[in-house]
Structures are given as structure tokens and as C-alpha cells.
Structure 1
Amino acid sequence: MERRELLRLLAGALPLLAPLARAASTDDWQALFEASTVPWKTGYATPPGDLPLTRATVRGRFPDAVTGTLLRIGPAGHDLGGERYHHWFDGDGMLHRFVIDGTDVRHQGRYVATPKRVAELRAGRRLFEAFGSILPGVEPPTSADSLNAANTSVLPLRDELLALWEGGSATRIDARTLDTLGPKTWRADLAGMPFSAHPKVDPDGTVWNFGLGSGQQHGLLALYEIAPEGRLRRAAVVPVADLPMVHDFAVTERHLVFLLPPLVYDGKRREAGASLLDAHVWRPELGMRALVVEKRDWDKRQMLALPAGFLFHVGNAWEEDTPRGTRIHLDYARTDNADPVFTTLREVMRARLVRNLRPQLSIATLNLGTGQATQQTLPLEAEFPRIDPRRVGLRHRHVVHATQVRPDLPGFGAVARTNVENGRSQRFSYGAQAIVEEHVFIPDGTRPGWVLGTAFDFGRQKTLLSCFAADHLAAGPVAQATLAYALPLGLHGAFVPG
């Protein structure tokens, strides 16, 4: 696509970012949160500032393959000036660094100094809308980056570290100091263009990503191909009818795969004053659509149909050629609908719990030759699926994921490793007073590898960093670091060896 046409399409999506500014009114979310006595609310509290480099207490020894840095990020700045956001996804991002070397683990946490956060700290109050919150007296956004909280994931990219959000620019971070360096501009005409929080890195180092924009007549799906050294190779925008909320995607050797749940943007709701989240409408009659795009030629696209459902995260996808055409196998964490986005993830902001839907590990098969798609759902709760990074886009067997939904707690209580071919799974439960965060797989040559991740022990009000042998997960951690304090619950991360 010509750059001029790309800019024209993007400009058509921007007006719907700006409903009318709200008048000041009373808001009691902060008071309700402070009055609550539930012990897990610390996971949704706001650290007053950056967290200095601190040494953890370590039990056991972290394996040599885990020597390096675990980077994690998530919403942390939830309240300012006596007002509290109404959705977990809105908080200003805080980036965490765990430096691991045998029996030594050190932690540092720093807020990402986005233009939004800097301006609001200076003013002592919220100035702009957020994804799921429109607080009293805020101004309408002037661009997608007016809302950019840089709070969802990270991408280590050679000499750069990028903090990622859902709907705006990536933010450059100094990996040595965690200083914020400013927005990442891939090309002058792409400044401010959405760059999603779940890029995929092929085994050869090529990075693929997407971004979403919604206009009055069409939805816009931006596609990126980035060379291993961080140079942009290609970017284009393609129109997609009834473009929904898409958080994640998958790659195979030859294709990009997007599962499109029927949570669709409605511009009229946005114009009437709804938040970006509340401008989305559940339309199950659309079903779950699977959009498959050829990596080499983005004009070659195919749409397949699956039963209606919702997802945040994809594990992995791989393809095989058969006499009836190419088949793509893809696993993801599926719920029947999107209710938790509108209820559960809001209510935790006032320390209330709404019963969760139970996402289940599901495996879809897309036959590009026949145009038919089928789906199998395993009787296994699953979220935050991660695989061996060496197998991205290739055939894999094991997925590491959070599991064990508790009706009396937000989130999950255990980490699991599941064979998606036979359904066999092993898990480790952190106990009755812990909330599990995302765990990642760490390769170790030809050995089974390791599972590394964090959990919030709200009984002791501390955050744990644990390492498990991947093939003996149920045996418990081989090493565990305990911080003297609790971190805000976060979203995603990445491991950098060495």
C-alpha cells in the first residue's frame, strides 16, 4: 500500500477517538477501594513511586540457563489526585526487572514515563480518557497516544527494549536503567500508528505485529514485518469488515492468523460518549472468524468460521500440507463471551469480585483447502499460554499456562504445562493465598528446559519469583526468590539470557 493511502486511512480512524469532554462530578471508586479489607487488593494498589534495585531472599539455586533478566510489565498507576481508574487495563505501566544469577536475584521497578503520565503527574490529576474509564473533567484525546499507558507487554529488540500498549506507539526504554526514551517511530508516516502488545518473533528473529484502528466505514488492520536487527521491512493497512477487539494473534511458517471474536466496535456508541471499551458490542451472530493472511503477500487473505467465543491470548500455531490443502493448528484460551472484560476487570478496581468465567484451552484446526474450521475444547482452565520460543510458528506439543480459577479470588492459583496433542497436564498450585501471574518457558539446549514466573503471595504480602523444571513442574520450584514487598499484579513479560 502506498504511504499516502496508508495515512489517509489512518486519518479516517482518528475522529472517533474524541467524544465530548465530561463535566466534573463525584466519583467514589477510590474510597471504596480504600475501605475494602480483602487481602488481595494490594495487587491492584498504586506504588507511590519507582522501586529501587533491591536484593531478594533466595531459596535454592536458579539454573545456569536462567541466568539473565526477566522483564515484566503491567498496570500500576491506578489512582491519582484522589480518583481511581474504573478498569484494570487503564493503569500507568510499571516495568519490572528481575536480574537472576544463581543464588542472587535483584529487582527494580520503574514507571514508564509516557507523555500522558508526565503531564498528569505535573497536573496532579487525570487529564485524558483511558481505555475503560472516563473520569470527571478529563479532556478528549487528540491521538491514540493520548491514552497510551504502555502497560501490557515488552519486546526486547537487539539494542532496544520496547514497552507495548494495545492501541498506540511502542515506547523505547533504556534496558540498563529502565529510563523512558520516548515513542518508537518505525517510519515518519507511521508515527502514532497502533503497534499491538503481542508481536511474534520467528525462530530466525523476524518480528511480526499488527495494530487496530476503527473508522466510520471500515476497520483497519495494520500489519508489520520487522527485521531481526530492528529495521522495518514492510507496513501496510488492510480493511476488515466488523473489525473486533483483537489482543493477540499467531504466526505459522507461511501465514499470519487472527481470531476475530464478535466483540465489535460501534462508532455510534463512541460518538454518544462511551469509553473505547464500552463502544464495543457483543454480536454472537457473527461467530468467531479466523482471518488468515499470507506472510509473503498480504493481499492474499482467507476468512474461516468458528463458533462464537472470546479470547485474549493465543499459544501458538503451526501448519501442515495435506492432500486436501494446508491445515493450520492453533491453540488459545477461550471463553464463551466477553463478560469479564466489562465486569470482573472493572470490579477489582474497587476491590470487589465478580465471579469469573473459566477460560479453557481450545485447539482450532483451519483447513485452507476446504475453507472449513473445527474446534476442540479441552476440559482445562487456561490463560497466559506460552511456549518454547524456539517453536514459534512451528509444530509444538507443550504449552505453559496459568490454571485453577478460584471463585473467591481474581485470577488463577496454579501454573501448568499441558500437552496439546494428548491433553495430559501437570500443575503446581501456589496455595490458597496466592495469585499466579504469567510464567514463561526458558530453553536449555536439548534438555527439557525451565518454567519461570511470578506470583503474588497475599498471605505474606510478598511477590515470589519461582523456577521449575519443565518436565517435573508438579514437584515444585527448584529455586524461589522472595521480595520483601508485593508488586502490583501485571500482565506479560520476556526473558533475556546472559
Structure 2
Amino acid sequence: MLTRREFIRAAAGGVAATALADCGTDMGDASSAPPLPADRKWLTLLAKGMDKEYDHSADVEGRLPVGLTGTLYRNGPGMFARNGFSKRTILDGDGMIRATRFSDGGVRFRNRFVRTTKYVAEESAGEFLYPTWTTPAPGFFSNIPCIPSRSQAGVTPVVKGGVLYAFDEVGGPYPIDPRTLDAGRETNPYEGEAGTGPVNYKAHTKTDAKTGDWVLVGQRGQRKPELHVVVKNSAGHQTRHIAYASPRGRAYFHDFFWADPYAVFHLQPAMLSPLPMLIGTRTFAESLEWRPEEGSMLFVVDTTGARPPLVLDIPASWMWHALNAHVAGNTIVADFVGYDTPDHFLGPDASFRAIMQGREGVAKSPGTLRRMTIDLAARRARVETILAGRYEFPFVPQRRVGQPYRYGYVSSSRVSDQGWFHDGISRIDVTSGKEQAFHFGSGYYVGEPVFAPDPAARGDGEHDTGWLLAEVLEGASGTSFIAVFDANALADGPLAKVRLHHALPFSFHGWWDAAQT
């Protein structure tokens, strides 16, 4: 929320802004990127919203594993356009939960839009009313300021205490009935005194494998933002809350690392210029500037308060997602997918933007698997590459979160003609850098792999016994399926394909819940 002074400044700035580009126009689209070739136009299905909510049995090709019982929840933007006005990037749209239920050898699929305050108001109006983080609302005066203020609840799903939560990066999560997918009112997980906790929560949370603690991070304030960490125990009660002024207040970050008791923020040099947003000439994403010469900054927070925060400089890299982290003696080991530059996201020809217009896009800098080693005593950190490839959406099984581990899972590419959009999944041995993978090849897009443990498995060995579930868009048929893999035998290909009769748009993240069938 804006302060009174900020609002006055924004309104005054709006007078001057009338001579500038309208935030409701599609700025920066004078592009040299050519259209997608005919054999890749199917990729635009990822950017096509769903005009229907389904509830149907799915066809199974192959054999589902015995023991695979539960529900795969996924979340992502499901609506990209209203009344002829479209979102600017594939990352931006109203949240849609999809639930794929495995039970008694059969599968049922259901999807439902999250009825956020924003969604309900715009559904009634028949048009977009509010600016979002990459897209303005139609019309100039709706964008003073051009700051996202309404959650779309479209990034992550998390199940806690029998409730499914849909997170965004604005406001708090929306609670959802995991059976009906009906949404309640936006909530704030913070249990402290009003006005002292986070206002906006990050989409990513961590559940500690050893303690069951649920760790959430958020922010409060705009000019001098505070970073907040909230820890809730397995019974749902808040046990820790700590907040510090961000040492790099205008840096954008999406995810964080958890290695109890430490939360580590990677404050990359994606710096926000707020004035264009305040006067209504740029969206949040368009106001980000990549400054690699300033390097990245690590902010290491002891959530018990026993140690003061530690600020460390490392070489610049862009990070969407952390893989995992753990404490080893007086060292924190933190693994992530990093990019030398976010060319797939920022700029008029960025892949995430171009696909919305059916164009080729820029994605020259691949995501590689990297490791940060933070020496707490020496107050220094180093970064190395575990494996150079084309990766994103790193995932670690729940029983490994915040603990030493050997294997991580990612979406990956073997072909380069699809740019950023991946065609397979990989299991990476983070100790040796060895990779086991399966790629469908050109003509397929594969999203984040989600691990479902085998309930019959015993022991805490290095190998993860269970299955990987991934959404796949098949270009030839124009439909989607859920691929089911043996986590220890990816190269053998999918054990089964849960085929849908329609395409699914791009989604971000998933959650496996064995309790819901």
C-alpha cells in the first residue's frame, strides 16, 4: 500500500506523465524478433488461457505404479486476456489450480480459477481493472500508480493442516478447500501484533524436513523495505519472527534458501526504479534494470536472533529458484539454478514476452546448476557451477529440504531450438555432477518435476524411492499429459502418461499430497 505522501507524489507525477507513454499501451514492442516457425507455433498454447473449468476422468496410457495414491496440485496463470486486452508475459495471469487425483488405479482431473478479490471484480466487470507485475490495466488513470496491489494467487500451491494455499507475490495466500478447490478470503499467516509483520509474502515457502517447521518470507514497506521471516511449527503455531531492513532495498528476488536456523536471501542486481511506476508509465517488471557490474549480495539471517545478519558479495547471477541448502559445520551449502543474465525475462524480445505475440524470443543465457558455499566464520562465500546445461524449476523431495542430500531434479533441455522452453527432466547428482535424463525432444514442453514418495519405501538412504510427475504439452496433438517416471530410472522414459483431452497453459509449481485422493 502507498503512504499518503507517496500517493500525492504519484498523483502529481501523473500530470507530467500525460506527455509520456501511456502505461496501458504495449511499450517496447518494436521488435526484430521474427514469428515462430510453423513447426513451433504450438508453443503459443502455453500462453493461451483456459476458457473452461474441467472435472473429468483422464485416460491412462501405460501402467500406473502401485502405491501412487494422492493428488498432484499445480498452480499457474490460467487467464491471460479479457475483453481483447492481453497480459504482456507468460508469467502474468490469474491463478488457476489444477488437481490430478490418483486413486484405485484411475485418475481424475479438475481445474478451477482461484476466486481472488481481483478475479471476482474483473469477472463481474468483464475486463481487467488492476495493474499486475508485468501488465498495466487498460486506461491511463487505472495505472497511477502502476504498482500491483491485488494478488492473482497464481504461483505456488502448498498444503498445510488440510488446507491448500495459493501464493502470489502480492499480499497473502488464499486458502482453498483441497477437495472442491473453492477459495476463501486472502489470509495473513503472521500471528503477531498488527502492523509489525509482513504485508506481501513471497510465493516460495520451505517446510523443514527435520522439524516440519513451515518457513515463510515477506516484505513490509516500499521506500525502505523490511525483510521478514516467519516460522510456524508443524502444529501451525508461530514460533519465530524476525525482520531486518534489506541491505539492498530495491533489489528484486523471488525465492530464498533455508538451512535451519538460517534464511539466506540472494539479492541479485535486478534493481527497481520506482518513479516510472508511481507516475504510471512503467509496470513493475519494466522498471527492473539488470546491473551485473554491481554483483549479487547475500543476506544471511539467523532466525533465532543469536547472530547478527551477515552481508556478503558474490558475482552477479539471476536466480528464480533455489534447489536446496543445508548447514555443514560452520558452512552453509546452497544450490540453485542461476543465469548470467535474465535475457529470457527482461527486454522487448525476451522469450517470456515474445511468446505472447507468437514470436521468437531471446533466451541466450541458459540456467545452470550452481552452488554457493558460505563460510560463516571467515565471512566469505564462493560460487561454482555444479553442471552446465539448460535447467529450471529445481525440485528436491520434501524429506530432504534443509538437509544434506545427493539428488536434485530439474526440467531440462537437450534441444536448443525451443529457447528457454524445456523438453525433458533430469536427475542431477549434486556430489558428482552426473546427470540422468529423459527428453521427449522437439515438439514437447515439460514443466517442473514433482516428487511423489513411494509409501512402501523404508530407510533414509541417498536414493529417493518414488516417482516424478511432470506436466507435458505435446505439440503434435495440441494436448497435455502428466508423465509419471521412476525417479531412479528416468532414462527408461515414463511409466505412464495421464492423457487429457485439452491443452494446459504454462504453470509454475506443484505439490504432492498423499492425503488427498
**Counterpart in the other structure of 1:267:** 274
- The percent identity for this pair of structures is 27
1:231 CA displacement: 3.0
Deviations 1:268-327 (A, max 9, x none): 333343211122222223211111111211872111221111010000001111xxxx11
**Counterpart in the other structure of 1:199:** 205
What is the rounded CA distance, in whole Å, between the counterparts of 2:507 and 2:310 in structure 1? 35
In 2, are the aligned partners of 1:29 and 1:84 still within 8 Å (CA)?
Answer: no
**Counterpart in the other structure of 2:435:** 425
Q: Which amino acid aligns with 1:374?
A: R
What is the rounded CA distance, in whole Å, between the counterparts of 1:205 and 1:292 in structure 2? 21
**Equivalent in 212, 229, 232 of residue 235 of structure 2:** 229
**Counterpart in the other structure of 2:461:** none
Query: Which segment is superposed worse, 414-423 or 352-361?
Result: 352-361
- Cα distance change of structure 1 residues 260 and 39 upon mapping to structure 2, 3 Å threshold: same
Deviations 1:358-399 (A, max 9, x none): 110111111111112111112222210111210111101100
**Counterpart in the other structure of 1:5:** none
What is the rounded CA distance, in whole Å, between the counterparts of 2:172 and 2:423 in structure 1? 33
**Counterpart in the other structure of 1:91:** 93
**Equivalent in 397, 402, 405 of residue 406 of structure 2:** 397
Question: Is the aligned partner of 1:354 residue 2:361?
Answer: yes
Q: Which amino acid aligns with 1:118?
A: V
In 1, are the aligned partners of 2:240 and 2:304 still within 8 Å (CA)?
Answer: no
**Counterpart in the other structure of 1:335:** 339
**Equivalent in 225, 228, 234 of residue 219 of structure 1:** 225
**Counterpart in the other structure of 2:194:** 189
Unaligned runs of 5+ in 2: 459-463
1:332 CA displacement: 0.5
Describe the SS at the equivalent of 2:184.
Answer: strand
In 1, are the aligned partners of 2:117 and 2:150 still within 8 Å (CA)?
Answer: no
Query: Which segment is superposed worse, 408-417 or 136-145?
Result: 136-145
Describe the SS at the equivalent of 1:471.
Answer: coil
- Cα distance change of structure 1 residues 219 and 338 upon mapping to structure 2, 3 Å threshold: farther
Q: Which amino acid aligns with 2:160?
A: L
In 1, are the aligned partners of 2:273 and 2:287 still within 8 Å (CA)?
Answer: yes
Q: Which amino acid aligns with 2:226?
A: L
Query: Which segment is superposed worse, 11-20 or 36-45?
Result: 11-20
What is the rounded CA distance, in whole Å, between the counterparts of 1:17 and 1:177 in structure 2? 42
What is the rounded CA distance, in whole Å, between the counterparts of 2:26 and 2:202 in structure 1? 31
Query: Which segment is superposed worse, 471-480 or 16-25?
Result: 16-25
Q: Which amino acid aligns with 1:219?
A: P
Deviations 1:452-488 (A, max 9, x none): 1111112111111111111111001112211111111
What is the rounded CA distance, in whole Å, between the counterparts of 1:81 and 1:276 in structure 2? 23
What is the rounded CA distance, in whole Å, between the counterparts of 2:397 and 2:24 in structure 1? 49
**Counterpart in the other structure of 2:260:** 253
Question: Is the aligned partner of 1:54 residue 2:56?
Answer: yes
In 1, are the aligned partners of 2:94 and 2:113 still within 8 Å (CA)?
Answer: yes
- Cα distance change of structure 1 residues 466 and 264 upon mapping to structure 2, 3 Å threshold: same
1:17 CA displacement: 9.0
Residue-pair matches, total? 481
**Counterpart in the other structure of 1:109:** 111
Describe the SS at the equivalent of 2:254.
Answer: coil
Query: Which segment is superposed worse, 457-466 or 218-227?
Result: 218-227
In 2, are the aligned partners of 1:160 and 1:172 still within 8 Å (CA)?
Answer: yes
1:142 CA displacement: 8.5
- Cα distance change of structure 1 residues 10 and 229 upon mapping to structure 2, 3 Å threshold: farther
Higher strand share: 1
Describe the SS at the equivalent of 1:268.
Answer: helix
In 1, are the aligned partners of 2:200 and 2:218 still within 8 Å (CA)?
Answer: yes
Describe the SS at the equivalent of 1:176.
Answer: coil
What is the rounded CA distance, in whole Å, between the counterparts of 2:169 and 2:409 in structure 1? 23
- Cα distance change of structure 1 residues 314 and 205 upon mapping to structure 2, 3 Å threshold: same
What is the rounded CA distance, in whole Å, between the counterparts of 1:84 and 1:278 in structure 2? 16
**Counterpart in the other structure of 1:180:** 183
Describe the SS at the equivalent of 1:438.
Answer: coil
1:148 CA displacement: 1.3
- Cα distance change of structure 1 residues 298 and 313 upon mapping to structure 2, 3 Å threshold: farther
Describe the SS at the equivalent of 2:327.
Answer: strand
**Equivalent in 497, 500, 510 of residue 480 of structure 1:** 497
Unaligned runs of 5+ in 1: 1-8
Question: Is the aligned partner of 1:241 residue 2:251?
Answer: no
Query: Which segment is superposed worse, 56-65 or 113-122?
Result: 56-65
**Equivalent in 168, 171, 176 of residue 174 of structure 2:** 171
Cα RMSD for the two superposed structures: 2.8
- Cα distance change of structure 1 residues 307 and 17 upon mapping to structure 2, 3 Å threshold: farther
What is the rounded CA distance, in whole Å, between the counterparts of 1:234 and 1:283 in structure 2? 34
Query: Which segment is superposed worse, 393-402 or 234-243?
Result: 234-243
TM-score computed with the length of structure 2 as normaliser:
0.86
What is the rounded CA distance, in whole Å, between the counterparts of 1:214 and 1:268 in structure 2? 16
TM-score computed with the length of structure 1 as normaliser:
0.89
Deviations 1:151-178 (A, max 9, x none): 1001101121110001221111111100
Describe the SS at the equivalent of 1:66.
Answer: coil
What is the rounded CA distance, in whole Å, between the counterparts of 2:10 and 2:103 in structure 1? 46
**Counterpart in the other structure of 1:320:** 328
Q: Which amino acid aligns with 2:444?
A: A
1:10 CA displacement: 9.0
In 2, are the aligned partners of 1:62 and 1:478 still within 8 Å (CA)?
Answer: yes
1:1-80 pair list within 5 angstroms: 20=14, 38-51=41-54, 53-80=55-82
1:43 CA displacement: 1.5
Q: Which amino acid aligns with 1:173?
A: I
